[in-house]
Structure 1
């Protein structure tokens, strides 16, 4: 008679499976610990990279802050020259000295908007003794000069807005507004040309 007992001891196969399962848990723990160590190492490396970038940016900013005054003058003069280049045709159109072209007005207005942000940081106190057309009033009354630059930028921003409408009379008025702010700045802060 052969009876199979349900209370029999576990077979060796079951023990082998249990040991394998238990060992795999230890392997997983070790693997998890190893991954954790690698993550900590990556965090340290990332921190080193970030700190290096911060130092590089700091050195770059200090180098920028030490730009030669003559270079600042050249940069602001170049920006002003480009402002004149792209505003000149608009002034001629507004005064009916050139055929009016709304597309050129729109294109030049966008260029002026970008260019109008460029020259102002070149008017640093260190450039006061450099040969240029800037009057001493630029450096003696910086708040007034800053207001004049902001007025010019606001007039150009208005021109950009109006240029999207294509309304010729409104465009001519906006162009006149830009010309007025430019002229006001030139009258107060630039040497008169002979």
Structure 2
């Protein structure tokens, strides 16, 4: 039994770098965190969950940190039909970078607005941030 456990653990340790090196897997993991964080924030903005300035500010800070991460995991040739990413990511890199920059800017504004605690301002900035997500999906994602 101990031998089996050691074998399984060894395989897990050896295979972990292979999975971590896959840019598709890496960006998908980051976007899963995006979905969870934005979903929690949306419930607050919609009034479905109580507003807590500190909790929302933490979520906004986390989203801002996430906004810096996935873009490095889109190297040329990393998709090849594996995901919903459109070829325009690689064929129109200036447009892609501009969309990323807009998203980062609006996410940073959301972090700053959330720290202030004005729920009306937060709702407006959350909407502006969400528009950058939608624009990117509309232009650079197939689904």
SS of 2:77's equivalent?
helix
Q: 1:185: which partner in 2?
A: 136
Q: Which structure is higher in RCO with an 8 Å CA cutoff and minimum separation 6?
A: 2
- Note the residue ranges of structure 2 that are not aligned, 5 or more in a row: 1-17
Report how many aligned residue pairs link the two structures: 125
**Displacement, 1:130?**
4.9
> Which residue of the other structure, out of 90, 97, 100, is the alignment partner of 1:139?
90
* Distance in structure 1 (CA, Å) of the matches to 2:88 and 2:48: 34
> Which residue of the other structure, out of 82, 94, 99, is the alignment partner of 2:33?
82
**Displacement, 1:128?**
3.6
Q: 2:59: which partner in 1?
A: 108
Aligned-CA RMSD value: 1.8
**Displacement, 1:164?**
1.4
> Which residue of the other structure, out of 154, 157, 163, is the alignment partner of 2:108?
157
- Note the residue ranges of structure 1 that are not aligned, 5 or more in a row: 1-66
Q: Which has the larger radius of gyration?
A: 1
* Distance in structure 2 (CA, Å) of the matches to 1:100 and 1:180: 22
* Distance in structure 2 (CA, Å) of the matches to 1:156 and 1:181: 9
TM-score, scaled relative to structure 2:
0.80
> Which residue of the other structure, out of 113, 117, 122, is the alignment partner of 2:68?
117
SS of 1:164's equivalent?
helix
